[in-house]
Structure 1
Amino acid sequence: MRVYALISTCLTAAIAKGAVVQHPFSPGKADLEIITVPTIDFQSSGTRLSLDNIHEVHVNARYSDTVDSHGETLIPPTLYDFAETFKTDIKQVLGRSWRVDEAAHPSLSTVFLTIDEDKTRYLDAAGRWTSEGYSVSITETGVIIAGASPLGVWWGTRTLLQLAVLHPDGIPTGHAVDSPGWGIRGVMLDVGRKFYPTSFLGELCSYLSYFKQNTFHLHLSDNVGVVNPDDKDFVNSLYSGFRLRTEDSRVAGLASPANESYSREEFDSLQRQCAARGVTIIPEIEAPGHALPILKWKPQLALIDDYTMLNISHPETLPALKTIWSVFLPWMHSKTVHIGADEYSADFVKDYNDCVNVLNAHIYEVSGKRTRIWGTFPPKDAYSNNIATNISLQHWAFFEDDPLHDYVEKGYSVLNSDVAHYIIPGYSPYFPPELNKTRIFHGSPDGSGYIPTTFDMSNSSNNPERWHPLVNGQIAATWNDLGPNGSVVSDAYYAWRNHLPALADKQWGGSITELQYDSVFDRLHESIPAQNLDMTILSKSRTIFHYDYAGGVSDGSGNGYDATNHGCKLDHRQVHFDGRCYLSTPMRRKGRDYTLTFSVKPLAYGGALFQHEELALLADSKLTFQADGQYFPINYTLPLDDWTKVSIIAEGRKTIAVINDDERIEFQTLLGLSGTGLRWNPMAFPAPLNIIGKGFQGKMRSVRLEEGAQWKD
């Protein structure tokens, strides 16, 4: 009991003191030596906790089965669930094996997880209680994390994990009380115009969670842009996607092909994987604009002068939309769903408002869920059917709406997705391929950091007060306006990689400076658990693997990445591929910045030189990368029955083939700019490594993968 009294006294003192310190949505007072992302107002005691003194995670037995009922997810983990996930992170990141158990009170050498029921302690920017708040108290003998809910506790474990990474010689002792300023923090990804596998999306949730972002908005249906929308045949030839796939006869024919859509089981698994880390998937099905996927299913519903838009006045349109939502609402484990409603014809505003209001009422009646739309037609006195005020608006551009004056001042809640952080991976004449760091740190009109209430970066009169309760938060959107061949899957991650944690700090209400951020980013980035989005391969040296085939298919790099031979003949340091045999390796892919070198002697064209699932380097009549169902050839043909040395060099956003240490040819994609022209653009392909030579006929020797772009002078 003496131990409990000691730690409880520390916790009580921490909470009492935390009740009067500034919350992170105010200008912070964080110790410059104690930085996390987002920042916390950490009051240091001046000593250190060695993790050698911690052996277990204890969950307060009274709250073990408690869940957060106030957040967006309908599948919230229990406090004990979060503890188990925390345990796996500790093992992966710190290499420590901690046991999880229940306990009634804190004890020595433990991390104690509990719930703080004080409704006055954890407040957001508007002064409202938030279930995401937490306090952390660290002594030389243990840690207590008390959350307003299990989700708050989870965010507290992110703080503790970051502190452990940044202070490997001992975690600073002290305490902090922390709450997010805004309730919605995260990103949006356009999966309608480019398909992304659930494995990739799940890893992105791990990335978001580490920096306390709680929302992943998935734009599940769309089509590429068009400048001749009244040309029916042309429009129907355009790429479009509807990503939810079901056997339900009511929507037969609506979904994209099976390799570019998600079954209910896959979508459910993704949502649960993300919820386990505090991230809620917000699904969006776009209509009545951007509706080509629906119109390929029911072409009779199109506007006569725009075959990407639904004719809302057609008697079958609203029933069709109701049917779609009735089928898929049971799949969706969020309290809010997004119906799109972006960029519709201004000639039919009344019909548009009717459509939005009808779907809003239908969704609530069927599922009890709330509705969100993109800001498109602001309410006006001239309309007798303005959209209902219980619909939340997602602002993205001032040419569509003025979020403060059109919505906030009229009682609508608004989510900020302004074009300040609009990204298009690959190329766009208007938007960057990655987040703008300067805008994050200096994007407010006064030059301070961007925050969710920053709708206008230059004119503060267009921005509500920081504390305004109708601003829900901020979402950074990544769009695939130019379709599936404009980028590869991993480009979406690289669009966010370097600067999203900084934006997460601002979304939370943190106060990290650019200098502080740069000082900790690399170490924190290397420690993000449950993901390998960089597609890193561990190596003892610059050479990751080397197969010289002198004594079989062993790896000569010292890393032990030996291959397995599936029926191929080896002699004279060569592998003979007959179109049926192949080699397999323990590696899958290598992300950006690598050099893959090999010598090859094809006897016929066809087959994969290197492959992992749908990513491949093909020995076709033109040397070709295949990625995400698209083909990217270069103007080079490997000579038959002759040896050629090839180096595939990936550097940043470019991939280049170097032939015989001489000729350099870049892999590029030809982009159609929404009917206004064409443009060649670089492509950043990962190196496919899992399978070597499948379907290929010829010989190969000396295969080597090196870290970084190794250019020959």
Structure 2
Amino acid sequence: MKKNIFIIMLAAWAVSPLMGQDVQQIADTLSIPQIKAGTKRFPMPVAPGAQIKILGADYEQIINSKGDISPVISDTPVNISFKVTKDGKEAISKDYEIILKAPEAEQGNPKPHVIPEILQWKGGQGEYKPGDTITIACRENEFSKLVAADMEDVLGRKVKLVSPGSKADISFSLLKGSNIGQEGYKLFVTANGIRIEAVSITGLYWGTRTLLQMLRQNPESVPCGEAVDFPRYQVRGFMLDIARTPYPLSYIKEVIRTMSWYKMNDLHLVINNNYIFHEQYVDKGLDPFKESYSAFRLESNMKGKDGTPLTAKDLFYTKKDFAELIAYAKRHGVHIVPEFDTPGHALSFTRVRPDLIYKGPMNHEKRRCEMLDAANPETLDFVGKVFDEYLMKDPKLGRPVFAGCDVVHVGADEFYGDKEDYRHFADFVLNHALKRGYTPRIWGSLSAKPGKTPVVVKGVQMNLWSAGWMKAWEAVNLGYNVINTNDGALYIVPYANYYRMDRNHKGIYENWIPNRIGNETLPSGHPQLIGSTFAIWNDETDLKHSGYAPYDIWNTISGSIDVLSQKMWGKAKTPDSFEQHRELVSAIGNAPRTNPLYKWKNAQPFSITPGKLPQKLARPSLGPNYHLTMELELASAPQGKEQVLLSAPEGELLAVMKDGTIGFRRDDSLEFSFGAKLPVGKKVKLELIGEPEKTQLLIDGQPAGTMVLKSFRNPDENFAPRTKGLRSTFILPLQVLGSSFQGKVYNLSVQP
């Protein structure tokens, strides 16, 4: 009898801790059974008195919400979380990592090294060796032409398209009913050739990126084996502020091709914004409404009563060009997400409608000039009309400018006015995009703007950028699909002393996780956590602008893309050390058909004795470091008339600017003067020495003048043109010599 009592007591001790746990404790102490290879159904954990459901897995393609398990070809880690209900209370569990086992197979070729890492690989024996001419079995279309051009660039061999079904080095198949998702692909390499399978053209395209990275490292052979690959997160993004610093479309295309090289798929472009430090003008007795820099980068029909255009005067994109950019990105697997930022950061808008400047009480009074009157019906009508210019059918294009953009960003960050006014505006602009058939995305701000006015939730994506403005769990509990864009971890302000994720690439690679947002952590497979985006904000504009070029921050962008790609497509645990990762970046090289730093493949000196001007040089533009030398004679210099000495799409070297000095204009629209004039009627030797962030001019061997940035002002010299601390990078244009030069050029040489 005593023995039975003892056994009963032991059982009670074993059960009582579990029975006494609250629902969160149960959720975080579940016992997860081991899963044998070939298991098709997830064995659910149990807990007395509790109901347990799968919340989500970070690879939902492998374990779905119903618990169905798809077969794997190699051992694959999956993070899974659960929703636990007990006594009417709910809790979300932590992540539980499980390893899905593959059937045992003979040891074959090791997994190829690419970025991001291939998820599943089953190595075969031997290798496939392509011939001198690469054949691709595919119909001739945009996809096949794109792949063929990239293949020729990577291999330096001719690529020939043959009809589908023909014997070829590479073939493609579209699948039906596969679990790999819209972006997944399967890669098969045998002794007879290479085949890529996917559900969509995008999946096929991602498969070609993996293959090309393999060929970039070894052009002669591809290891036999089988790959199954798909992303952890659907949004793998980069946000670029193209409003406060201008970026030419050619540069954005380089960004797109580089993103696609690493399977990044979401390019968020901030179309309008303004200088935010208006107090620097106010404190000097000036009106920032008139003085502060702002830009709206798209062609627009909108003008104020006084003729003030919404469109920026320095650099803007035509509607046709931007529509073509959207289509260009889509061909490369990248979605453009355009943002119009209102009701704050809206100086471009308030200059068109100064009557709609916010009139209520607000924080940051000195920044009122950029705040729209959020709840005013006229404001809503005005903003709606601006959106509709791009969301609705354009009469000239025959389609909306934003056709092909599934997602449109409505901005709505850092509004310093009344919370109910803000909520009213946010609800309007989100619903406006929804009614037009687009998925709206918004900067999370509702934690800082609590109130009674409802804000639409269903179908809305939210960037979680600051815990002070929007808390992660609050956003999720409200029902928003969220994107981790946490400022402390993922923001970059070039040349500033704050927000410098680019100085922490190693830390991001080793420690950052997409589901940790500030001081909150969501389950990595939470169905409402749809991805992550890093951001470049060009706060250093206007009085703070040092003249830096898009060229100067290329490594900042590309070096962030390769790291975030691995963290958002690839497995939770990185495959290599950061140092090994960067070695692989070097081995893989730049994306096909990109040359972001304008380097010459054949770095040989170039020289000519020009004939009659103008003369086509037909040489590619050259980035730093270079040394240009020429002897020339300026015949005349009519006042106020520019004379172009060298030109190309990347910029112009001006023998005579409108003020008579020699200088240059870049394709980002910034202008620099060397502060010196060429003598008229005298033969001189001109030397231009281009270095990163520094361009020097010598005339007859002597430094000429003082460099001046003509596009922005210097706060330390009473708003005079900036002359100190300049970053004056200039890509040397070598397409045409002397297109409007009045004089003679005796010789020209370039030392790369």
Question: TM range, normalised to the smaller chain?
Answer: 0.7 to 0.9
CA–CA separation in structure 2 for the residues paired with 1:57 and 1:17: 30
1:582 aligns with 2:582: no
Deviates more, 1:629-638 or 1:332-341: 629-638
* 1:131 counterpart (160, 182, 195): 182
2:651 counterpart residue number: 615
Gap change, CA 1:646 and 1:322, over 3 Å in 2: same
Q: Which amino acid aligns with 2:224?
A: T
1:377 aligns with 2:465: no
Gap change, CA 1:297 and 1:368, over 3 Å in 2: same
1:60-111 Cα deviation digits (max 9, x unpaired): xxxx8xxxxxxxxxxxxxx96423321222223223444445546xx75432
CA positional deviation for 1:55: 4.5
1:337 aligns with 2:337: no
CA–CA separation in structure 1 for the residues paired with 2:584 and 2:593: 20
1:322 aligns with 2:384: yes
Contact 1:654 1:667 in 2 (8 A): no
1:90 aligns with 2:151: yes
* 1:224 counterpart (275, 278, 281): 275
2:422 counterpart residue number: 352
1:436 aligns with 2:481: no
* 1:287 counterpart (319, 342, 356): 342
1:155 aligns with 2:234: no
CA–CA separation in structure 2 for the residues paired with 1:674 and 1:267: 37
1:243 aligns with 2:297: yes
* 1:260 counterpart (303, 310, 315): 315
CA–CA separation in structure 2 for the residues paired with 1:298 and 1:674: 32
CA–CA separation in structure 1 for the residues paired with 2:431 and 2:531: 24
Aligned residues: 619
* 2:375 counterpart (300, 313, 316): 313
Q: Which runs of 5+ in 1 are unaligned?
A: 1-14, 65-78, 123-129, 554-564, 569-580, 708-713
3-state SS in 2 of match to 1:52? coil
3-state SS in 2 of match to 1:414? strand
* 2:690 counterpart (637, 650, 660): 650
CA positional deviation for 1:189: 1.6
CA–CA separation in structure 2 for the residues paired with 1:673 and 1:17: 63
* 1:469 counterpart (527, 545, 568): 527
Gap change, CA 1:626 and 1:388, over 3 Å in 2: same
1:362 aligns with 2:432: yes
Identity of aligned residues (%): 25
CA positional deviation for 1:624: 1.8
CA positional deviation for 1:33: 7.3
Contact 2:484 2:532 in 1 (8 A): yes
Gap change, CA 1:673 and 1:503, over 3 Å in 2: farther
Normalised by the size of structure 2, how large is the TM-score? 0.74
Gap change, CA 1:659 and 1:243, over 3 Å in 2: same
* 2:220 counterpart (155, 160, 169): 169
Q: Which amino acid aligns with 2:354?
A: P
CA positional deviation for 1:601: 4.0
Give the structure with higher Rg (CA). Answer: 2
3-state SS in 1 of match to 2:418? helix
3-state SS in 2 of match to 1:155? helix
Q: Which amino acid aligns with 2:388?
A: S
CA–CA separation in structure 1 for the residues paired with 2:512 and 2:713: 32
CA–CA separation in structure 1 for the residues paired with 2:493 and 2:558: 14
Contact 1:610 1:617 in 2 (8 A): yes
1:112 counterpart residue number: 171
CA–CA separation in structure 2 for the residues paired with 1:23 and 1:676: 60
1:39 counterpart residue number: 117
CA–CA separation in structure 1 for the residues paired with 2:231 and 2:253: 23
CA positional deviation for 1:587: 2.1
Deviates more, 1:255-264 or 1:215-224: 255-264
3-state SS in 1 of match to 2:725? strand
CA positional deviation for 1:654: 2.5
CA–CA separation in structure 2 for the residues paired with 1:424 and 1:42: 39
CA positional deviation for 1:215: 1.2
Deviates more, 1:611-620 or 1:252-261: 252-261
Q: Which amino acid aligns with 1:649?
A: I
CA positional deviation for 1:453: 2.1
Q: Which amino acid aligns with 1:442?
A: G
Q: Which amino acid aligns with 2:196?
A: I
Contact 2:344 2:414 in 1 (8 A): yes
Contact 1:24 1:179 in 2 (8 A): no
3-state SS in 1 of match to 2:131? helix
3-state SS in 2 of match to 1:310? coil
Gap change, CA 1:462 and 1:587, over 3 Å in 2: same
Gap change, CA 1:406 and 1:161, over 3 Å in 2: same
1:26-70 Cα deviation digits (max 9, x unpaired): 9999987721111114333242211118853234xxxx8xxxxxx
Contact 2:242 2:269 in 1 (8 A): yes
1:503 aligns with 2:564: yes
Q: Which amino acid aligns with 2:592?
A: P
Q: Which amino acid aligns with 2:369?
A: Y
CA positional deviation for 1:143: 1.2
CA–CA separation in structure 2 for the residues paired with 1:364 and 1:90: 40
1:626 aligns with 2:696: no
CA positional deviation for 1:307: 1.4
CA–CA separation in structure 1 for the residues paired with 2:190 and 2:706: 56
1:601-633 Cα deviation digits (max 9, x unpaired): 445455233222472222344432222333212
3-state SS in 2 of match to 1:218? strand
Correspondence list, 1:445-594, <5 A: 448-456=510-518, 461-483=519-541, 486-509=547-570, 511-513=574-576, 514-526=578-590, 528-539=591-602, 541-543=603-605, 545-547=606-608, 549=609, 553=610, 565=611, 568=612, 581-594=613-626
CA positional deviation for 1:636: 3.8
1:125 counterpart residue number: none
Q: Which runs of 5+ in 2 are unaligned?
A: 1-68, 80-96, 102-107, 360-364, 392-399
Q: Which amino acid aligns with 2:586?
A: D
1:416 counterpart residue number: 484
CA positional deviation for 1:588: 4.4
CA positional deviation for 1:595: 2.0
Q: Which amino acid aligns with 1:452?
A: P
3-state SS in 1 of match to 2:440? strand
CA–CA separation in structure 1 for the residues paired with 2:607 and 2:176: 58
Correspondence list, 1:379-418, <5 A: 382-386=451-455, 388=457, 390-402=459-471, 404-418=472-486
1:50 counterpart residue number: 129
CA–CA separation in structure 2 for the residues paired with 1:532 and 1:378: 44
Q: Which amino acid aligns with 2:481?
A: S
Q: Which amino acid aligns with 1:469?
A: P
CA positional deviation for 1:137: 1.1
Correspondence list, 1:685-704, <5 A: 685-704=730-749
CA–CA separation in structure 1 for the residues paired with 2:473 and 2:531: 17
CA–CA separation in structure 2 for the residues paired with 1:690 and 1:391: 47
Contact 1:193 1:239 in 2 (8 A): yes
Contact 1:24 1:178 in 2 (8 A): no
Contact 1:656 1:666 in 2 (8 A): no
3-state SS in 2 of match to 1:35? coil
CA–CA separation in structure 2 for the residues paired with 1:701 and 1:406: 70
